[in-house]
Structure 1
């Protein structure tokens, strides 16, 4: 039998759901800055799963898919095992402005690079620290929900450390999620690296982008996430039902393909998440006279999982996120010995 649980300012008993916040500090008006949370405290013992959205404020897929999750009949704490903690938006200030980082914080802009922050650091560092101090004490499993934001479309990929807890969580995402990329080295810069380094299950999950936030597109992207959340909960026995899985996983690493010319990037007719051979043409950069300044090609066998959707590009900006495939795994938890972390 589970017992009383306190997370942030939320105190729940087994079988309860409550909303609340994690405190950060006061703003100029003396009003508390807070991170919203929803806690489902299951009646039975089980895993403590955290799902967190909007580390980047231009990525609304997390908040919306989490909102849909709260409407599902399966989320009945009187029947659940374990605890589900939903964090619709970690970086609320950035989300309010639709920006990658808090526009008022010029010195610690990208929270996914300096996590877990500092208790006495810049404003965004303090947000990250307040969150990590509590999440790290409670979470067994942690999903950080991301997308291509205001610059790209990303498609059903996740970054996972090589620890078995994280790979099992990746497997639990379901049949749509079979591209498993190596994450940052343990303990460096983002929640997945930090939690993975602590022996917890942790993923950075990527799907969607601003180019897919109109009407039915946004619903479709959120549904992909919702299906994964429920599958994860079934896998760990938090809710009833049978989890389903991919038949095989591609384990690889990300390569950002950067522009070596300025102009208009026009992608080739190559669908995302399609196996490609080295040298496949991925797109061209044109100048304003219509001349081709650069042709981008696949650097190795692999697949595109992210593509720029803004044609204007300058030298050094990225055009595509490319997944170089290191190995195919019949069981995601069993490596063939090719590790690139």
Structure 2
């Protein structure tokens, strides 16, 4: 399909720079079959059925944004995928000033050597020393806010909490699974009381999620791989939900992509551990999920393509036009949508 088909105009003032307070006070646009409903995240228990199960990503965002120098040149690095115990693949700002073998000084006694430049301009960074890389990042890194927020304000102490979900446990993501940012303990308790279950998996979200699609046709776009895991107990539990007639509702496109990577043609979800680069566009037949809760996505993005695959491109274009007219807040810190095909 033409990438232009997934374009739309978004007024800049619709981009949220801070999350709603409290988190579950965000608005939620519900597309349930042919119905379009303006609701709030707090209404979620009433929008689902007893026996349904929400699937969360328990990845934890690490402070993966680094600023350093190579000689006189300023170098910015955004880590996006672990490649070894001390090696991370990183997108580099001012990459033209960096060569294989160069050492970058990120301050706070944190150094890394660049090598293996990729076709996308990324480098492998090997961190010096014996301390765990996570400790080094805590010392020298900061939260990797999406560029559409970071370009409008600096990262601050609030983001260290705001940009983590309540489920964050497994460190390794460089972007938050933002749909889950809307959840609070009080909301989970109400879901439990309504006999709506929860389950967790792990997908370490990479910075590639923010990259624009530069190809003219979706067939020519290459996704960046991300590492994920679904253990046997979780796979068995999710299959049992469906066998009983419940629906599996992914919370976030990251949860959805991992479930679809693990599901066979028969719809059975199997244990999974490894990389996935699944790219979902209209025409895809969903196998493992029955619905999706997600935020509002960028035009021409792989994520808008994914929701268009789930609900139909014309349906999503109309829904986004409605959301813009009605003042919904977009992107990572914005409002939610509940998509039930």
TM-score by length of 2: 0.23
- Richer in strand (by share): 1
Structure of higher RCO (CA pairs closer than 8 Å, 6+ residues apart): 2
- Richer in helix (by share): 2
TM-score by length of 1: 0.23
